[in-house]
Amino acid sequence: MLYFIPAWYKEKEWCEDEQSWRVKRAHSEFDDTVKQIQLFHRSGAYEYRIMLLSAAPNFRHFLHRQGVYRAPYWSCFDAIQEIRRRKVRVWSFHDLKWPEGIEFLYTPFVVVAMLGNEKYAQVDFGEDGNPIWVELYQGGVVCRRNLYDDRGFIASTILYEGGQPVCQDYLCENGTWKLRCYRKDGHVEINRKCPEYLLEYGGKWHTRRFFRRSYDSIGQVVYEVLASYLELTDAGDIFCVAMHGLHVHLLGRNLRGRKKILSFFQDRYQVGSDSVVLEMIRQADYVVADSRETARRIQKQVAVDKRRLAAIPPYDTRTDEGIGLQMGVQKILVPVDGLDDGTFREMIRIMGACLPQKENMRIHLFTREARYDRKRRLLEQVRRELDSAGMPEEWAADTEGAMVSENDLEGEGRSSARFFPEQCVDELSVSKCMREQWLLVDLRNVPEQYLQINAISFGIPQIVRRRTDFIEHGGNGIVLDGLERLPKALDYYLNGLKHWNEAKVYSYEISREYTTARLLEMWGEVMDSVG
């Protein structure tokens, strides 16, 4: 059996990152574990199970969004809360017990329950339209938040005093509190009336008793329950661990002597000097990095046997015809997150200077930051740089097609704006955006892997400052040895179709190395090695 241990946490808390649909997601849900599960789920080549350590009352909805709804899993908090139910239950907030005389106000974002002239409750919904929590009010101040499980019961409740959270109770299916976590110091109490937890393995249920009545943290509870579950597993089972600061210590101790594959993804976890972690890496049967660059960095920090180290990207290529050629303009996608101020300033000046000779050129400044004011701040920054360079600040606009009335390119009083912010958070919106581009210009020290994979899939040439696994200089793009060479690189792909088409063909050749089938082969080699 292969167990995937994901890092699907809300920052550094033992809970999922479920949020109201009305709040823009701050980061993508996709990571290395999602891709790994998708590969194994669809291929059926290996028996696997997800080992979920966080409280995730809407976990079934999460699996559905990732296309792996029927993926088998074991949940640590299901064990703690003695939850046996598996199936999602479709329910409405109308099904809840409301006091007589309650009236519902339907706003564009939430449902507000009014009792008389006072706000009694507020219902929030998840991204899939399911109720996720109900806040109760007294005197206009929140006093309780009930978090609902997608299987149709209250999973936990947060108690407030003076509008501030005091403690959180994790409940059994029947509503009895099992675990009480205090916000002030994080300590946890176990209900003396039900001091057991429930483990499911191989279709059988096993009851265990908590060793203590009080713990310093939820992490200690998770450690104890996980250790009990691991006693039921086979000695030959393999554990694929998504490296994350919240659970790396816990797993380093619990998985000592067990077969392990450690998975590193982007900047989620940086190897430091922690002895427990270093020992965990040295004893790992295999270390999987998301790129050769990440693999080299790990190798430099820890002396990992190269035979136990592999670079397997979490993204696969999917050959698709982009529509950049059909757009009527030449869209250039320029990622700006993490771009230093000096490079940003120089990029604006260089590209601005190219505009008088390139009427069809449009620069789309790409950001994955979800803050509501991100586009406005980005536009203000571009306009400042344009103005300081003696260029019309009106060249920067919120939407394509906006017009300016002075300082235009043609000198006739009107011209199209040329710089536009492009805000995309989830992978779907990124792919949709990339499909329309003519060129990807990533001037950051480390280009974004997902953007590069997308560029390859759509046959879009790339201009970068650093060689990666996904670009061949002179093939599917250009690696700049200095920012001053950017104008010449732009000319290479914008002045005619010859070089653009050559890069497109080369991209499709590279894409063969990162297909779903090829990634599965790579993982097959890892599994054969671990045995």
CATH of the domain at 455: 3.40.50.2000
**Is 442 in the same domain as 483?**
yes
Q: Is residue 67 part of a domain?
A: yes
**Is 245 in the same domain as 375?**
no
The answer to whether 428 touches 361, Cβ cutoff 8 Å, is: no
Q: What confidence category does residue 26 fall into, taking pLDDT thresholds of 50, 70 and 90?
A: low
Structurally, how many domains does the chain consist of? Answer: 3
Q: Is residue 424 part of a domain?
A: yes
**Is 241 in the same domain as 365?**
no
Question: What integer is the mean pLDDT of 404-418?
Answer: 51
**Is 115 in the same domain as 60?**
no
Among 311, 338, 355, where does a domain finish? Answer: 311
**Is 295 in the same domain as 178?**
no
Predicted TM-score of the model (pTM): 0.90
Round to whole Å and give the CA distance between 100 and 97. Answer: 9
Among 248, 283, 311, where does a domain finish? Answer: 311
**Is 75 in the same domain as 110?**
no
Among 123, 155, 190, where does a domain finish? Answer: 190
Point out the least confidently predicted range of 37-51, 271-285, 364-378, 389-403.
389-403
Round to whole Å and give the CA distance between 41 and 33. Answer: 12
Q: Is residue 434 part of a domain?
A: yes
**Is 470 in the same domain as 337?**
yes
The answer to whether residue 3 scores a pLDDT higher than 90 is yes
Query: Taking all residues of the chain, what is their mean pLDDT, rounded to a whole number?
Result: 92
**Is 398 in the same domain as 433?**
yes
* Token pair recorded at residue 113: 């329950």
**Is 216 in the same domain as 336?**
no
- Going through 383-516 in order, the beta strands assigned E by DSSP cover 403-404, 415-416, 419-423, 439-442, 462-464, 477-479
Q: What confidence category does residue 102 fall into, taking pLDDT thresholds of 50, 70 and 90?
A: very high
Q: What confidence category does residue 402 fall into, taking pLDDT thresholds of 50, 70 and 90?
A: very low
CA dihedral (514, 322, 487, 374) positive or negative: negative
Q: Is residue 112 part of a domain?
A: yes
Q: Is residue 454 part of a domain?
A: yes
Q: What angle do CA 218, 220, 225 make, to 5 degrees?
A: 95
Q: Is residue 202 part of a domain?
A: no
**Is 144 in the same domain as 175?**
yes
Question: What integer is the mean pLDDT of 54-70?
Answer: 94
**Is 357 in the same domain as 478?**
yes
Token pair 């999973």 is found at: 155
Q: What confidence category does residue 400 fall into, taking pLDDT thresholds of 50, 70 and 90?
A: low
Question: What integer is the mean pLDDT of 141-161?
Answer: 97
**Is 255 in the same domain as 384?**
no
Q: Is residue 203 part of a domain?
A: no
Contacts of residue 316, Cβ cutoff 8 Å, sequence gap at least 6: 35, 453, 514, 515, 516, 518, 519
Query: By residue range, what is the domain housing residue 486?
Result: 324-514
CA dist 401 to 44, 349, 424, Å?
49, 21, 20
Q: Is residue 297 part of a domain?
A: yes
The answer to whether residue 405 scores a pLDDT higher than 50 is no
Q: What confidence category does residue 303 fall into, taking pLDDT thresholds of 50, 70 and 90?
A: confident
The answer to whether 218 touches 14, Cβ cutoff 8 Å, is: yes
